[in-house]
């Protein structure tokens, strides 16, 4: 799916008492755990912790500034791990925090960050069976650009 960035962006406020934080050594394990949880529930792939963390230092697609983390008083509630190629690699909202507009707000943060980087659009892949994610992305103005059949495992 793709979200063009040339049109005006509606960046919603973060709901409730959420705050944005950076990816740090202190929260990296919790961020990774949430990404793994999202993989188990919605598909996608997440490297094991050490390779995932190492990629931020050695992979030109990874930039800590493009790992968007939202927290509340109980901990990490949402993560969008993006690549420098304006691609959302993973977006996960913790099950305890779903249905509160957090995913939509996080997408707005991502879109605004890539617009500031003068990107023309943001892309992602989503499993056709992941209906909740597809509805979220559609509401955020993303459009389908390509459909591919999965290769058998």
As a residue count, the chain comes to: 153
The full set of domain ranges for the chain reads: 2-139
pLDDT, tens digit, for every residue of 2-51?
A: 999 987 777 778 888 899 999 999 999 999 999 999 888 777 789 999 99
- What lies within 8 Å, CB to CB, of 13 at 6+ separation is 105
Reported confidence tier of residue 152, pLDDT bands at 50, 70, 90? low
pLDDT, tens digit, for every residue of 57-115?
A: 999 999 999 999 999 999 999 999 999 999 999 999 999 999 999 999 999 999 999 99
At residue 151, the pLDDT reads 55
Average pLDDT for 127-138: 91
- For domain 2-139, the CATH superfamily is Gcn5-related N-acetyltransferase (GNAT) (3.40.630.30)
CA atoms of 67 and 28, how far apart (whole Å): 10
Confirm if 134 and 144 have CB atoms less than 8 A apart: no
Average pLDDT, the chain: 91
Reported confidence tier of residue 149, pLDDT bands at 50, 70, 90? low
At residue 102, the pLDDT reads 94
pTM assigned to the model: 0.90
- Helix (H) or strand (E) holding 115, with range, is helix 102-116
At residue 39, the pLDDT reads 86
């Amino acid at each position: 799916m793709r979200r063009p960035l040339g049109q005006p962006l509606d960046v919603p406020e973060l709901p409730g008492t959420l705050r944005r934080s950076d990816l740090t050594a202190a929260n990296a394990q919790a961020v990774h755990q949430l990404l793994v949880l999202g993989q188990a529930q919605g598909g996608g792939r997440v490297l094991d912790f050490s390779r995932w963390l190492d990629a931020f230092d050695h992979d030109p697609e990874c930039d800590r500034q493009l790992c968007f983390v939202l927290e509340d008083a109980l901990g990490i509630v949402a993560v969008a791990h993006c690549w420098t190629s304006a691609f959302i690699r993973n977006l996960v909202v913790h099950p305890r925090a779903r249905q509160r507009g957090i995913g939509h707000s996080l997408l707005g943060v991502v879109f605004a960050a890539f617009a500031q980087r003068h990107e023309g659009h943001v892309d992602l892949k989503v499993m056709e069976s992941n209906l909740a994610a597809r509805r979220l992305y559609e509401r955020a103005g993303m459009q389908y650009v390509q459909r591919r059949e999965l290769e058998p495992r």
